[in-house]
A = this chain, B = another copy of it.
Amino acid sequence: MPLVCEIVSVGTELLLGSIANTDARDISQGLAEAGIHCYYHTTVGDNPGRLREALRIARERADIIITTGGLGPTCDDLTKQTVCEAFGVPLELHAGTWERILGYFERIGRPVTENNRRQAMLPAGCAVLENDWGTAPGCGFHAGDTWVFMLPGPPKECRPMFQKCLMPLLKSLSGTTIVSRSVRVFGMGESAVEDRLRPLMERSLNPTLAPYAKEGEGMLRVTASARTAEEARRMTEPVVAEVLELLGDVVYGVDVDSLEGVVLELLEREGAGLAAAESCTGGMVAARLTGVPGASKRFAGGVVAYARAVKVNVLGVPDTLIDRHGMVSEEVALGMARGCCRVTGAELGLGLTGLAGPGGDGSGVPVGTVCIALFDARDGSQRTLRRSFGDERDRVRTMASLTALDMVRRKLTRGEGRISV
């Protein structure tokens, strides 16, 4: 019987919609990996009565309860007191934790305030989950049939504490291991992907195959459950191979972090550098690439040519070319791509020009139109395309960035595109 866990998130800011519950997402990923089932997430505000009610319900249907939030020093943090009351465990000052908090404040040079002391009050006999990422420690105890763990709410504290302190424990509590593989897709709509994979999805039980929509792209998850990670991984392999066969070159990677990560690896393999000249995307292509550690080896940099003067003066796109073809044209995109190769010395150059909206620019070009060019300074080869990405500014910018990166991927895989695993 697999263990069942329920995540109880505490925080009025969640119920007011000030933030999305990324803690529940991060913890759920870990639970899946540890082979622990999660059937419910419950979110309650900073209200002892309603938290008590949520704990009562969770206790009936789960072996493990993980709470997030309400361990900080602010005046409305009530989780520890309420959980301890609900499970009949007293709170007491934990000397080691109090010393650690004092040390933390000394290190960052801020004064300790009275309410920081409350963070050192912990359930009697609990296991303390040290917080190297903030002041509030987490903790865990076993009461009756239930394991209870309390984690801090801020994602920058919750995520590493869960990963480093709780995951090893959860894996040892659970007998099974789940291995989940992700197949990443760009350039085919969600429905089309699903239509093509439906027969395979329907006959896949272990591993399962399920589609997920991501911002501007697609993802398929293949999840197998077995006694060991090796066995589970081996079970995923034929299904992953069949997905690759069915989808072909729209798959840009398996178990990869991002399209930009794949592009940087391909550049590394080829020994080539990339630069980008961006207008409508305004630095998003560069920001994506430089978000990958070590990007500097293969991404030289770029020019955010938002103003016409920058296109002309920095990138050397001729004024006459812009006048003849218009700012949003494949010709100008190509001029930008050539220009950024020239100024950065990179072998490959991307040029993006488009109209992200919401308003038009008076030229008659429809909002959402984007032209992208990829220039190879080594042999002078070039490709350009013109696309329309609808009328939503964020989506236009995201799709333009991804499409540009995918052009580089397709070029570097020699048009074959298809990967094998």
Contacts and interface: CB of A to CB of B under 8 A. Distances in A.
**Chain A: interface secondary structure?**
mixed
A40 B42 contact: yes
Interface stretch (A88-96, A247-255, A302-310, A411-419): A302-310
A196 to B, nearest CB: 11
A191 B110 contact: yes
A134 to B, nearest CB: 10
A260 to B, nearest CB: 11
15 contacts: A21-B24, A39-B50, A76-B210, A110-B191, A154-B213, A278-B286, A281-B290, A282-B290, A283-B286, A284-B290, A293-B359, A294-B359, A296-B306, A302-B306, A313-B344
Interface string A152-185: 0010100000000000000000000000100000
A15 interface: yes
A245 interface: no
A323 interface: no
Interface residues of A, number: 101
Contact of A113 (B32, B191, B213, B357): B191
A27 interface: yes
Contact of A306 (B32, B57, B280, B299): B299
Contacts of A15: 28, 38-41
Interface string A200-241: 011000000011111000010101000000000000000000
A55 B157 CA distance: 33
B287 A19 contact: no
Contacts of A116: 191
Contact of A300 (B276, B285, B306): B306
B290 A306 contact: yes
A291 interface: yes
A301 B295 contact: no
A154 B44 CA distance: 23
A30 interface: yes
B110 A189 contact: yes
Given A75-B201, A283-B290, A303-B301, A17 B32 contact: yes
A420 interface: no
A293 B358 contact: yes
Contact of A313 (B211, B221, B289, B343): B343
Interface of A: 9, 12-22, 24-32, 38-45, 47, 50, 54, 57, 73-76, 110, 113, 116, 154, 156, 180, 189, 191-192, 194-195, 198, 201-202, 210-214, 219, 221, 223, 273, 276, 278, 280-287, 289-291, 293-296, 299-307, 309-310, 313-314, 343-345, 357-359, 392-395, 397
Contacts of A75: 198, 201-202
Contact of A309 (B113, B198, B290, B344): B344
A35 B286 CA distance: 42
Contact of A45 (B21, B39, B45, B284): B39
Contacts of A359: 293-294
Contacts of A25: 14, 17-21
A281 B219 CA distance: 28
A198 B22 CA distance: 27
Given A15-B41, A16-B221, 8 more contacts: A14-B24, A40-B44, A74-B211, A154-B213, A282-B286, A301-B304, A309-B344, A310-B344
A296 B47 CA distance: 46
